[in-house]
Structure 1
Amino acid sequence: MVKLQSTARFSSIEMPVLLTQTDTTVGFLSQNAQKLYEIKSRPQTKPFIKVYKDFKSFKQDGNRVVTGRKNLVRRSKKTTFIINNFSFRVAKIRLDSQILRDTPWFYSTSANKSAESFNRDFCESKADIIIENWHSLSEKDASSLIKINSKKRRKLR
C-alpha cells in the first residue's frame, strides 16, 4: 500500500531503506550500501545487486554489455547478471510508487538477516519506508544468476 504519491514528505530522509516486494521476492532497496550492510550484518566484501528500473538507466550509469549479450539482458525477467564482478538486474517497477519511479537504480538484497528466512517484524523495524500493495509482502524464489562475458555464459543459480 502506498499511502503517499509525493516524495516531499520524505525529503528529510537522505537515503532511505525501502521494504517492498521486488520482481522476485521481498527486498530491502536503498542507494546507501552501508545502511544495507548494517541491517543485514553482512561482510563488506560481499557486494549487493544493483537493480535498474530500465535498460536506459543501466546505460546512463556508464555500464555496457557486450554486443552479443544485449538482447539477453534487455529481454530477461527475474534474472541477475554478473559482468566483471559487477552484479545487476534490470527490473520493471510494478508498484505505483513515486519513489520507485523517480529513482533510476537501487542496491537490492533480500529482506532478512543474512542466511535466515523472511521475518516481517524484523524487516519493518529496519526499513525507513514500507511500500506494499494489496498482495502484501511474500517471500518467493530468488532471481536466476548468470555470469556472462563475450565468449560464454554460465548459470550459477
Structure 2
Amino acid sequence: MVFLAQTDTTVGFLSHSYKDINTIKSRKLNQRVLLETANLSYLKSYTRVPNVLKKRLRRQEKVTFILKNKKSFRVVRDQTHLLFLEKFGMLYSSSANLSSKPFCLQWAKKMADILVIDRRGYQEKDASKIYKISEIKLRKIR
C-alpha cells in the first residue's frame, strides 16, 4: 500500500515496503529508501546512533541523516505530518516523482493507492539537507 502525502519537505510517497516505492519510481528494487520516523526510539532496531550526536539529531528539522550502515532516516517535526506518521511508527519515504524527473501531481495521484490530503493540499518545497554520520561528526552532503 502506497500513500501520497504532503510530507514535511515535499509531496512524497510513503509505504511500509521500500520495494513498492522503488517499483513506482522505476528504480532498482534493492535501492535504499529513506525511513521517516516520529521518534528516535524506533531507530534502535535498525542502528545505534552515537551518543555525541543524539541531541543534535533530535533538534534538527527537515534534515536527512545517512548512517554508517548506509541506511537513511528523517525524524519528522511537522505537526500535521507527524499526526499521520505516529499511527504507523515508521514508513519508507521518497519524493513523488519518477526517478530523476520533475514532479507531476497527476502522475503521482495515479500511482498511489491512497491519497492523504490535509488542509495544505499538495505543494512542492525545497529538498531537505542531507548529513552523513560518522562516529563523532556530521558531514554535509546536500
State TM-score, norm by structure 2: 0.90
- The alpha carbon displacement at 1:45 in A equals 4.6
1:52 maps onto 2:34 in alignment: no
Task: Identify the residue that residue 4 of structure 1 maps to in structure 2.
Answer: none
The 1-side partners of 2:133 and 2:86 are apart by 28
Give the alignment's TM-score, normalised by structure 1: 0.82
Shift of 1:37: 1.0
Q: Which runs of 5+ in 2 are unaligned?
A: none
Q: Are 1:107 and 2:92 an aligned pair?
A: yes
Give secondary structure in 1 for the equivalent of 2:80.
Answer: coil
Indicate the percent of aligned positions where both proteins have the same amino acid: 37
Give 1:34 shift: 1.3
Shift of residue 95, structure 1, vs aligned partner: 2.6
List gaps (5 residues or longer) in structure 1.
1-15
Supply the distance in 1 between the matched residues of 2:123 and 2:78 (Cα, whole angstroms). Answer: 17
Change (3 A) 1:96 1:43: closer
**1:9 corresponds to:** none
Q: 1:74 aligns with which of 39, 42, 58?
A: 58
Q: Which has the larger radius of gyration?
A: 1
**8 Å contact from structure 1 (residues 30, 106) kept in 2:** yes
Q: CA RMSD in A?
A: 1.8
Quick one: distance in 2 between partners of 1:109 and 1:133? 18
Change (3 A) 1:135 1:89: same
**Contact 2:50/2:136, CA 8 A, preserved across alignment:** no
Partner of 1:12: none
Question: Match for 2:89: what amino acid?
Answer: P
Q: Deviations over 1:82-107 (max 9, x none)?
A: 11111111113533797533101011
